[in-house]
Amino acid sequence: VDVITKTVREVDKLFGESYELPASPVAKNTVGCELAGKSLLSVQHKNLHPSYELKRMFGSRVVQAEQAKRRNTRGQRPLKSTWLVNVKENWPPVGKTGISMKVVSAPETPGTSKEPERNVNYFAFEHSQSYRQLQNKFLAAVESMDSDNIIQIINQQPYHVDSLIQLSELCKMSEDNAMASDLIEHAIFALESSFHILFSITSGNCRLDYRRQENRAFFIVLFKHAQYLEGRACSRTALEVSKLLLSLDPINDPLAVILVIDYYAIRAKQYEWLVELYLQWEKSNNLSQLPNMAYSFALALFLLNTENDCVSADTSLQYALLMFPGVLRLLLDALSIQVDSRANSHSYFGPLAYSR
């Protein structure tokens, strides 16, 4: 803030206008961090299914008719019930994947004096001996840089997660996003089928340690799944999946979900949730220091469309602009506003502004 104050004073000297620096918005009534985090990151099962959101957008008749059409063309067979993906009729039975999950103790964090979280449960994925052998085969296939070797592994084990992720990336590079998304859903199905009976995806208090190699795939497939959901205009489902992902390790956030979850929230019109997240997490996570959060918070307040929120939105937007002035030129360009040449060429809006 001292740096910003100094910047404002220099701007005053240049343009001769004096005004008060908006303060960083903070929570007025901050509840306990554990309870707040748990309620914010808990999800409902129905919101994890894109079909529920599609029904809201297009009507249940349209979605049900499409589902019935697929069943009639492919024939019916019993499908395993899952929460995270819709199992398709042409998917092979999951069988024994070689992946399981167990309850573990809270991981130690070297070099920190932080106490472990309370009222949370820690889990870890495990690989069987045969699956570990398949993993070695997969690593050799990646090093060979031959996609046929990846496909051979999937032919041998249709639910080998890392191979599905790798093949999905290859499909994405060839712009076959439908197949890329389908392969990620295959991987999610395999991992969900191995969940421990106590592992809850809705409570927001089940943790996985990203440092454990076997756990990483679940983080990655959820992150990619949210991206593909957003590409299908299922923003609310993408938000809920991101909340689940963030709940797995909210303190470390290894995939930096906090940098994208605000976008999903704005797109899903979950403005109140985003404002609540900002207010409750600002003290411990310094969300006002992130450009996406600073601007999204101001936008969410504005979109809530109440008199008090509009005043707060103006203050928050001023704060965001002073913290991250590089966005101003982009906003002015989007609004087709002609900028004074002196301001446009000023160093505060140049590439070196953030290195000062």
Tens-place pLDDT, residues 252-307: 999 999 999 999 999 999 999 999 999 999 999 999 999 999 999 999 999 998 76
One-letter amino acid at 254 equals P
Please state, in angstroms and rounded to a whole number, the distance separating the CA atoms of residues 200 and 117.
Answer: 17
Tell me, what DSSP letter sits at residue 120?
-
For residues 152 and 300, state if they share a domain.
no
Q: How high is the pLDDT of residue 2?
A: 56
CB atoms closer than 10 angstroms to residue 220: 20
For residues 101 and 242, state if they share a domain.
yes
Give the contacts of 354 (CB within 8 A, at least 6 positions apart): 326
The verdict on residue 221 lying in a domain is yes
Band of residue 6 on the pLDDT scale cut at 50, 70, 90? low
Number of domains in the chain: 2
Picking from 210, 236, 269, the residue at the C-terminal end of a domain is: 269
For residues 50 and 173, state if they share a domain.
yes
For residues 319 and 244, state if they share a domain.
no
One-letter amino acid at 293 equals M
Band of residue 15 on the pLDDT scale cut at 50, 70, 90? very low
Check whether 169 has a pLDDT greater than 80: yes
The verdict on residue 183 lying in a domain is yes
Check whether 10 has a pLDDT greater than 90: no
Tell me, what DSSP letter sits at residue 305?
-
Please state, in angstroms and rounded to a whole number, the distance separating the CA atoms of residues 305 and 284.
Answer: 28
Please state, in angstroms and rounded to a whole number, the distance separating the CA atoms of residues 164 and 160.
Answer: 6
Helix-helix angle 161-173:129-144, to 10 degrees: 30
Among 10-19, 233-242, 253-262, which is the least confidently predicted range?
Answer: 10-19
C-alpha dihedral sign at 270, 243, 231, 227? positive
Given a contact cutoff of 8 angstroms between Cβ atoms, the answer to whether 287 and 261 are in contact is no
Check whether 64 has a pLDDT greater than 70: no
| Residue 11 structure tokens | 């701007």
Greater pLDDT, 93 or 4: 93
* Percent of the chain residues topping a pLDDT of 90: 61
The verdict on residue 91 lying in a domain is yes
Which alpha helices (H) appear in the chain, and where do they start and end? 2-15, 33-41, 50-58, 60-74, 129-144, 147-156, 161-173, 177-192, 216-231, 235-248, 261-267, 271-285, 291-304, 307-323, 326-334, 341-344
The verdict on residue 33 lying in a domain is no
Q: Which domain holds residue 262?
A: 38-59+82-105+119-269
Picking from 223, 239, 269, the residue at the C-terminal end of a domain is: 269
For residues 195 and 50, state if they share a domain.
yes
Half-sphere exposure of 341 (CA within 13 A, CB side): 0
> Smallest Cα–Cα separation from 100: which of 82, 134, 126, 135?
126
For residues 131 and 207, state if they share a domain.
yes
For residues 227 and 283, state if they share a domain.
no
Picking from 202, 237, 269, the residue at the C-terminal end of a domain is: 269
For residues 189 and 257, state if they share a domain.
yes
Please state, in angstroms and rounded to a whole number, the distance separating the CA atoms of residues 120 and 116.
Answer: 9
Q: How high is the pLDDT of residue 344?
A: 74
For residues 307 and 197, state if they share a domain.
no
Could you tell me how many residues make up the chain? 356
Span 137-143, mean pLDDT?
96
Three-class DSSP category at 221: helix
Q: How high is the pLDDT of residue 31?
A: 37
The verdict on residue 64 lying in a domain is no
| Residue 27 structure tokens | 């929570």
Given a contact cutoff of 8 angstroms between Cβ atoms, the answer to whether 279 and 297 are in contact is no
For residues 253 and 283, state if they share a domain.
no
Band of residue 29 on the pLDDT scale cut at 50, 70, 90? very low
Please state, in angstroms and rounded to a whole number, the distance separating the CA atoms of residues 67 and 182.
Answer: 16
Band of residue 345 on the pLDDT scale cut at 50, 70, 90? confident
CATH of the domain at 133: 1.25.40.10
Among 35-44, 136-145, 277-286, which is the least confidently predicted range?
Answer: 35-44
Three-class DSSP category at 137: helix
Given a contact cutoff of 8 angstroms between Cβ atoms, the answer to whether 185 and 225 are in contact is yes
